[in-house]
Amino acid sequence: MLAKRIIPCLDIKDGQTVKGVNFVNIKNVGDPVELGALYAEQGADELVFLDITATHEGRKTFVDLVKRIARGLNIPFTVGGGISELKDADALLNAGADKISINSSAVRNPQLIDDLARNFGSQFVVLAIDARSDNNRWTVTVNGGRIETDKELFAWAKEGESRGAGEILFTSMNHDGTKNGFANPELSQLAGMLTIPIIASGGAGNMDHFVEVFTEGKADAALAASVFHYKEIAIPELKNYLREKGIVVR
């Protein structure tokens, strides 16, 4: 069995790490360079950096900030936000990113997934999907959850895999920041229909939620933000707890 991964997420706005609930009520939680180095030191398996307003503001990701964070890391580093063409991905790769995460730009131009996978390899391409459930239909959103699209979660995830995405990062907007647990039924459904890894995002509130996302949700990795930023859960203790529950972690 492949080891499950624990991934802290740095949501970046105006160069600072922030966190909200259901994608709104955003609060500043600290310096991303310091947080990234801390999580690497604590045993995080990877780090994700998402520039959450780049697309909405029509600009590119802060490349200089990516460079500064990357210098303090010895773990894989995924960067997303404002990536709409190959040269954006190339710039982030040169700045120290190991993978890039695409979301809104892929919905608007699905061919971007194919182009990135062909030029950089599937392992470099994470398709992030922010989706909201309403009347049992999971609708894909763009621009940091601000705009609904006509795409449906499961069909879009399947298309993303077929176009060459190496991983799916699924964030349930209904669960985001609520600390009530992950969207396990939907994660399990994704895991059953895809062959690529699934990263679960949205809803981590306690250590049992991580146990559930790996057992019930069948996720390959669990991403969280506020429980780590506010020191409600420490990564070393979390990994020990997961081991006690029979879950293989690094």
Q: Which two tokens mark 167? A: 């991983």
Question: Could you tell me if 220 and 3 are in contact, meaning their C-beta atoms sit under 8 angstroms apart?
Answer: no
Q: From the candidates 45, 51, 130, 176, give the one annotated as an active-site residue.
A: 130
11 is catalytic: yes
Q: Which two tokens mark 202? A: 């949205």
Interatomic CA distance for residues 62 and 77, integer angstroms: 15
Taking alpha carbons only, the member of 240, 235, 236 closest to residue 223 is 235
Q: Helix, strand or coil for residue 173?
A: coil
| Amino acid (1-letter code) at residue 25 | N
Q: Which residue has the tokens 């203790």?
A: 237
Where helices occur in 72-152 by DSSP H, the ranges are 86-95, 104-108, 111-120
Taking alpha carbons only, the member of 147, 165, 145 closest to residue 156 is 165
Interatomic CA distance for residues 86 and 63, integer angstroms: 15
134 is catalytic: no
Q: From the candidates 11, 45, 51, 176, give the one annotated as an active-site residue.
A: 11
Interatomic CA distance for residues 35 and 229, integer angstroms: 8
Interatomic CA distance for residues 124 and 182, integer angstroms: 25
Active-site residues, by number, are: 11, 130
